[in-house]
Chains A and B, each alone.
Chain A
Amino acid sequence: MEVLRVENLYKFFPLKKKGLRVHAINNVSFKIDSNETLGLVGESGCGKTTIGRCIIRLIEPSSGEIILLGKNVTKLKEKAFRDFRPQATIVFQEPYDALNPRKVVRQIIEAPLISENRLNKYERLERVKEVLEMVELDETYFDKYPIQLTQGEQQRIGIARAIATKPKLIILDEPTSLLDIRFRAETILLLKRLQKETGVSYLFISHDLVVIAQLSHRICVMYLGRIVEEGPTELVFNNPLHPYTRALFAATLFPDPDQEKPNFQLIGEVPSPVNLPSDRCNLYQRCPMAKEHCSRELPMLKELEQNHKVACFETKL
């Protein structure tokens, strides 16, 4: 069953100077099935976090459609959207910043339940206990303040809070990137187990290919607000097709001593996302494979093998 479908999503941020705008998301479409994890990978500033925030309405998209649980929620008024709030939650990057420092764990996890207003006081307390156990904590944490917890525990509280309302979709916005390596592994394993137990879908946003590989069923690679490659994790990892993906892989150190020396590099820096042209490939100036027509036309996602789509004219299987 399809949990989330995003179609032709755009987000522009206008700048102070008239006529200039940052193209944060450019025509992005993807879908997530139930019990599935979609990894969204790309450099900082490529728009992956903005996509996550558009879905849960922390940011209003400029145009495009968001279909949540089969219902088009793009045009819904906030009041009507409230019913969908418990269905799609988020885990943030900074574990401490995400928890109200003046509330205890019980209050923090209870907040979304109170807002959902489906359970009574006793049921809520039961549910808080239950989700704490699901993240391998217990009742003794009820009255602790976030500052008393380790980083890993803080992030688990963040996760417990996200699953409290039994959502169908959780947006994981780089939940591991600021954690110590020990907590990172712990958190990934926890997320995997939770998915198995509850059947929740994840939109996993990260810049870390190693972490993405461990959790995602499919991945989308983003560059300057566009998806440039999309496919099942194994296919993309074994055979990255887009030049940007290949450069990303070449720049990543995998925990593998036999990893081949990277030899695929892009030229220069990521260009500014202000008033991005849409009549040519945005990688054109940096791409070692670029041909003349890459500067005249924007490549669209094309299926090169089963479920494996790439937005490039030049790449071949």
Chain B
Amino acid sequence: MKFLKYLGKRIVYVVPQFLGVLVVIFTLVRLVPGDPARLMAGTLVSPEGVEIIRKKMGLTGPIYQQFWVYLKNVFHGDFGKSWYTGNEVIKDIASRLPATLELIVISLTITLLILLPIALKSIAEGKGVVKNIAGKSLFFYGLTAGCFPDFWLGLILILVFFSKLGWLPAPVGQLPIGISTTKITGMVLLDSLVTANWPAFIAHIKMLILPVFVLIFVYGSGIMKVSLVSATSIQKSDYINFAKVCALPPKQISNYVKRGTYPATVTMTALMFGFLIGGAVLVENVFSWGGIGQYAVQSVTNTDYTAIQGVVLIAAVINIVIYVLVDIIYFLVDPRIEKLG
């Protein structure tokens, strides 16, 4: 019950957030110099023809009327047409977004499930071989993670593992040429699994290895460092000292520490998620992933207004959704919220 009330309160905030995003997107695009109708029409169409296209794009009349048209269209799921691809923007996005989401979700999941436990192990109490190795390798990782640009690392890995060693397939996208899956969710990993298409499944995993490694290596370090800082400060706090004084089992004490790091980790992971939707673009390009980042860059270089609007809107919506999720997770991991709201 408390949870529903909390959730309801939280979701009420989404409405103004979403409207705010719409206003910003709408105005910004209109502030950009150039005539989108003319661009879309090309050089051969007469001024009358451009006028018609302008009307179709909802670019005539006073600004509030234009905004009203834009709002209506958005709520009908009509984001306009991309003049570059010739498709409905919403369809373009729908076909590319799952690929990016898959990449991000897998990278962040591995970061949280493998990198973080190793990191926490490295600062755990006491001695041990595991702790020692974890500490040493993380030290090396911390030194290097910040200084390799993601696209560079991607290229080097392709050079080594594809060109030289030939262990991994060519970076031609989500699946090697000649293999395909039935589209259900758009995420090849899920689709091939659901349809039991094992050749595609295995081929896709091979394609995933390098981009996922690059994303984890370059962007996972931020999450790791934030939770390590939070863990070490908790380890030093007096309530942990007291737990030791009254001889609580070490397992329980390390749980106290672990739980204390959750808020920082969740926040940083959410930030990374939002960032990577647009930020993984260089990695997507290097591996020809065909995700939303690549689409966004292509739209910008082609001054494809409707497409840019659509991508920004979707990215914003995903961010809004993530932050709602973050608040739900906060509620679940921090008992104080239930009580204090």
Contacts and interface: CB of A to CB of B under 8 A. Distances in A.
B290 interface: no
Interface residues of A, number: 28
B237 interface: yes
A85 B238 contact: no
Interface string B247-285: 110000000100110000000000000000000000000
A79 to B, nearest CB: 9
A94 B238 contact: yes
Given A85-B246, A85-B247, A89-B245, A99 B239 contact: yes
A145 B339 contact: yes
Interface string A79-91: 0001001100110
B340 A148 contact: yes
Contact of A112 (B246, B260, B334): B246
Given A82-B247, A115-B248, A147 B239 contact: no
B243 interface: yes
Interface residues of B, number: 19
Nearest to B336: A145
Contact of A147 (B248, B260, B340): B340
Point out which of A78, A86, A112 has the most chain B C-beta atoms below 10 A from its C-beta. A112
B245 A90 contact: yes
A104 to B, nearest CB: 8
A56 B245 contact: yes
Contacts of B335: 102, 145
Given A102-B260, A145-B340, A147-B336, A58 B248 contact: no
B183 interface: no
A111 B238 contact: no
Given A97-B237, A102-B260, A111-B248, A90 B242 contact: yes
A150 to B, nearest CB: 16
B260 A86 contact: no
B242 A98 contact: yes
B72 interface: no
B339 A100 contact: no
B247 A102 contact: no
Nearest to B262: A102
A161 interface: yes
B241 interface: yes
Given A86-B246, A112-B246, A115-B248, A102 B259 contact: yes
B9 interface: no
A115 B247 contact: yes
A93 B336 CA distance: 24
A85 B246 CA distance: 6
Given A145-B336, A147-B336, A89 B246 contact: yes
B10 interface: no
B55 interface: no
A237 B212 CA distance: 70
B91 interface: no
Contacts of A85: 245-247
B245 to A, nearest CB: 5
A264 B163 CA distance: 80
Interface in A37-57: 56-57
B246 A115 contact: yes
Contacts of A98: 237-239, 241-242
Contacts of B239: 97-101
Contacts of B242: 90, 92, 98, 111, 161
A284 to B, nearest CB: 35
Point out which of B242, B248, B256 has the most chain A C-beta atoms below 10 A from its C-beta. B242
B244 interface: yes
Nearest to B259: A102
Interface string B192-229: 00000000000000000000000000000000000000
A166 to B, nearest CB: 13
Interface string A128-166: 000000000000000101011000000000000100010
B243 A111 contact: yes
A92 B236 CA distance: 13
Given A100-B256, A102-B259, A112-B246, A92 B241 contact: yes
Nearest to B244: A58
Contacts of B248: 111, 115
Interface of B: 237-239, 241-248, 256, 259-260, 334-336, 339-340
24 contacts: A58-B241, A58-B245, A85-B247, A89-B246, A90-B241, A90-B242, A90-B245, A92-B242, A94-B238, A97-B238, A97-B239, A98-B242, A100-B239, A100-B243, A100-B256, A101-B336, A102-B334, A111-B242, A111-B246, A111-B248, A115-B247, A145-B340, A147-B336, A161-B242
Interface of A: 56-58, 78, 82, 85-86, 89-90, 92-94, 97-102, 111-112, 115-116, 143, 145, 147-148, 161, 165
Given A98-B241, A98-B242, 17 more contacts: A56-B245, A58-B241, A58-B244, A86-B246, A90-B241, A92-B238, A92-B241, A97-B237, A102-B335, A111-B242, A111-B246, A116-B246, A145-B335, A145-B340, A147-B336, A161-B242, A165-B246
